[in-house]
Structure 1
Amino acid sequence: MGYSKDLLVNKTILITGAGKGIGRACALLASSLGAKVIAVARTQSDLDSLVEADAHIVGWPVDVNSAEFFLKVTELETIDGLINNVGINRVAPMSEQSDDNIDSVIDMNIRSMYKVTKALLPALSKSNSASIVNMSSQMGFVGSPGRTLYCMSKHAVEGLTKSLAVEIAEQGIRVNSVAPTFVETPMTKPMLEDEAFRDFVFGMIPMKKLASTGDVANACMFLLSNLSQMITGSSIKIDGGWTAQ
């Protein structure tokens, strides 16, 4: 079971952080549904692997915070979808967080999302059905020990999503977020190898299982497609019930 293979036909979708994990899953699924996918990642080998898996995907080996990226963006005349997927985490009590950690999380999780979206608005405004999907987290709705930086950044993502959705609705651009619980990706795998932490996570998820990258990608495709044409300023929580408690 799955979406129609022409769900995203004639749509051009740009995905940041597309080299691994959720971003990679989104790129592969969007392409399989007919979209022209521009996959952005810093690591050339990750993009090579992605293009090897699907030759229709166009890889941009560039940092989203670089001048090179923003120059390439200006060359895009029209774009129909954007998945803001770049993000990092720095886990530690607030008393132990360094200034470098604070700056890194703010720069990558908030500032880059804001700047990438702003740069792509002219191209998005030329689409007949543009959609922006911001990668949030269940931590954009709750708090958790050792995650003051991450929770702060993801609450900011939710605020940006709602405000921008209202601001640009009349331009025909929708803005939503997806908010996953823990997903076993290269970023989270080391954390989940800690038995005590894994027990904590499963204890907080009523469904007693992690989300998969496919679960998150499916939600992103729904929000990118015309199936969700009256949904904006919302978040799809893919959390197995964590935030319902």
Structure 2
Amino acid sequence: VLTGIHLGAYGLDLSPPTSLFQLLQQIEREKLIPRVRLSSIETNEISEKLIDLLMTSKTICPHLHLTLQSGDNEILKRMNRPYSAENFRELVLNLKNSIPDLSIGVDVIVGFPGEGEKEFHHTFSLLEELPITYLHIFPFSPRKGTLASQFPERVDGNIVKIRGKLLRNLGSKKRRDFYRTYLNKRLKVLIEAKRDKETYLLKGLSRNYIPILVDAEDKFINKEVTVKISAVTGEKVRGTIEI
């Protein structure tokens, strides 16, 4: 996994400067590792070049975790975010049209100062309509020394909890719907070292970030195998290794 506090800005501080795109090109070209996953990346740092690379790559996993934070333009301005809800919508639709198997996770902050019912509705509606896979929900918490910590119009804690629950429920539905589209289909899965605690089955992650349980021997650990998805129960996915 390529990870960092600001992954999309990789290489800008190097001499000579480089970029995340150039790094991924090199990884793809030199086949240094069989597969690589990107961690969280800013919405405005997904370029057309990066999308084109993701479309054709045999190495980069079809999974992106995007930072939206709010689907309301006024709240985004208060957050000093360099994109709009319309930019985000266009990006997600472009990504899914270009890479149909892409899994898209989204970060959202609930209860940012000034978030009323209208602003929250804009966020919920945007996420509801778009083909995203899952949500990471964070309640706003003031951090000393930031502008946001001084903003008035704080949102009541009970309201934040209610809104957070609504978004978590939406995220769970999105995740289940995404998983169900792969029933009876085959996916490349990297089998992990530790078995599932509840079932003691082997577990692994598909390239597009679906956790999958398989009844198999330890010899498959740390190997990427082809798995046919046989059952999807809620957020539990099971499959069979094909040899």
Higher relative contact order (CA 8 A, sep 6+): 1
The answer to whether the superposition gives a TM-score over 0.5 is: no
Looking at CA atoms only, which structure, 1 or 2, has the larger radius of gyration? 2
TM-score, normalising length from structure 2? 0.40
Higher strand share: 2
TM-score, normalising length from structure 1? 0.40
